[in-house]
């Protein structure tokens, strides 16, 4: 399969948002950065072309100036979607092109790959979701007709096309303007193919949409018994003690809880499904390695950590003196700031099983 170029539309006037939604803050970056970051790691993406407007072109260009990726190009779009795509298409050279709304920052790698593969196979691919509400035609405040919702779907982006064909469609439609490329392709080339969309891939229209961003919370818990002669490792830090945590891996109870919280918040199976304790491959493994693998799975879904809280319960040994080391280690491993992470320590006051350490983790992601 050939590679694809990606056109990201960021030239809209944002009239309903009353401000440029591309530059809305979203965690540590902006909406447009989050959108671009979803495509950057994918091996089949050749280059990313961002179509901007005269007001935001300079700011968006500055945002990507220091990105370690020379394949990002910022071009001037137009006051209409149709003309912005047409302008950006002039830069597209790969066999296939994906056209995506900059205001859909929650698109994930799974959906992008699905669109790309279907485009390579069929020459077009439009992600779409089934309608869940009934639709009625209304005239003068009265319902005058109904439609069969089974025959209609809600289309999303990225929309994928054979580059030569979609360029041809724009040439043929020289004096017509379209609100999306699926209709252009339908009227000028042929029937575009449909693939399953994703509910998380919604479009930000107003600033309130950011306030209602679909934050997902995950929880994790783990417990291991202390045993003499084993190194004690918690949050990736070696704690001086004559006992360690008995487990198939190195027994890092806090990391195990964090992994489950990350997976849970992302809708993925639990830690045992990815790293079964029956597998020799994970015998004695450093749990930080497992965290890196699990977090890569989460990032592939374009999920980012909003905040993470970790509670470690141990009657012995005292872990408070190592709290700052643990926090620095985790922030580095997860690429988050100190204010996004809290690690607390408690004793069970004799209520937990003797000679064990347990940990809870709660993670909020979007």
At residue 231, the pLDDT reads 95
Mean pLDDT, rounded, for 51-60: 93
Tokens of 309: 């809280």
Mean pLDDT, rounded, for 143-157: 92
pTM of the model: 0.75
Q: At what angle do helices 81-89 and 163-172 cross, to 10 degrees?
A: 130
- At residue 213, φ and ψ (nearest 5 deg) are -55, 145
- Provide the CATH number for the domain formed by 4-211 in this structure: 3.90.550.10
Residues linked to residue 216 through DSSP beta bridges, in sequence order? 365
At residue 56, the pLDDT reads 92
pLDDT band at 29 (very low <50, low <70, confident <90, very high): confident
Mean pLDDT, rounded, for 173-193: 94
Residue 88, C-beta contacts closer than 8 angstroms, at least 6 positions apart? 7, 9, 49, 51, 75, 77
Strand pairing report for 29-30 and 25-26:
antiparallel
Are 51 and 36 contacting, i.e. CB atoms less than 8 angstroms apart?
Answer: no
Q: Is the pLDDT of residue 36 over 60?
A: yes
Q: Which CATH class is domain 216-365?
A: alpha beta
Tens-digit pLDDT profile for residues 330-353:
999 999 999 999 999 999 887 777
Calpha distance 123→173 (Å, rounded): 19
Would you give the distance in Å from CA 73 to the centre of its chain? 22
Buried b (16+ CB within 10 A) or exposed e, 221-250: ebbbebeeebebbbbbbebebebbbebbbb
Q: Is the pLDDT of residue 324 over 80?
A: yes
At residue 79, the pLDDT reads 85
The domain spans of the chain are: 4-211, 216-365
pLDDT band at 213 (very low <50, low <70, confident <90, very high): low
Mean pLDDT, rounded, for 41-52: 95
pLDDT band at 86 (very low <50, low <70, confident <90, very high): very high
Angle at 183 between CA 72 and CA 191, to 5 degrees: 105
At residue 209, the pLDDT reads 67
At residue 216, the pLDDT reads 85
How many C-beta neighbours within 10 Å does residue 95 have? 16
At residue 68, the pLDDT reads 64
- Average pLDDT of the chain? 92
């Amino acid at each position: 399969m050939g590679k694809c170029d990606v056109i990201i539309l960021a030239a809209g006037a944002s009239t309903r948002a009353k401000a440029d939604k591309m530059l809305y803050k979203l965690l540590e970056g902006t909406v447009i950065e989050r959108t671009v970051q979803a495509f950057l790691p994918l091996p089949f993406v050749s280059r990313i072309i961002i179509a901007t407007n005269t007001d935001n072109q300079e700011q968006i260009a500055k945002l990507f100036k220091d990105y370690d990726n020379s394949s990002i190009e910022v071009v001037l779009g137009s006051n209409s979607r149709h003309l912005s795509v047409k302008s950006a298409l002039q830069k597209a050279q790969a066999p296939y092109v994906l056209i995506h709304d900059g205001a859909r920052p929650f698109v994930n790698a799974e959906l992008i790959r699905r669109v790309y593969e279907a485009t390579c196979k069929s020459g077009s691919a439009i992600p779409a979701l089934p309608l869940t509400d009934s639709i009625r035609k209304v005239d003068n405040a009265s319902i005058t007709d109904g439609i069969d919702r089974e025959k209609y779907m809600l289309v999303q982006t990225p929309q994928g096309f054979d580059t030569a064909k979609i360029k041809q469609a724009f040439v043929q439609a020289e004096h017509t303007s379209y609100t999306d490329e699926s209709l252009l392709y339908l009227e000028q080339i042929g029937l575009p193919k449909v693939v399953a969309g994703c509910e998380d891939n919604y479009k930000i229209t107003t600033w309130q949409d950011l306030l209602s961003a679909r934050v997902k919370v995950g929880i994790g818990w783990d417990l291991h018994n202390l045993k003499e002669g084993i190194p004690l490792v918690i949050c990736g830090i070696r704690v001086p003690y004559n006992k360690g945590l008995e487990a198939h891996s190195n027994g890092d109870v806090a990391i195990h809880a964090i992994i489950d919280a990350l997976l849970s918040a992302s809708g993925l199976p639990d830690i045992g499904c990815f790293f079964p304790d029956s597998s020799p491959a994970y015998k004695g493994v450093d749990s930080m390695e497992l965290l890196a693998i699990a977090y890569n799975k989460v990032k592939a879904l374009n999920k980012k950590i909003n905040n993470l809280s970790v509670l470690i319960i141990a009657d012995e040994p005292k872990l408070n003196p190592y709290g700052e080391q643990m926090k620095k280690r985790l922030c580095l491993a997860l690429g988050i700031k100190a204010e996004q992470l809290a690690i607390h320590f408690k004793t069970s006051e004799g209520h937990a099983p003797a000679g064990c350490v347990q940990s809870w983790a709660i993670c909020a992601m979007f």
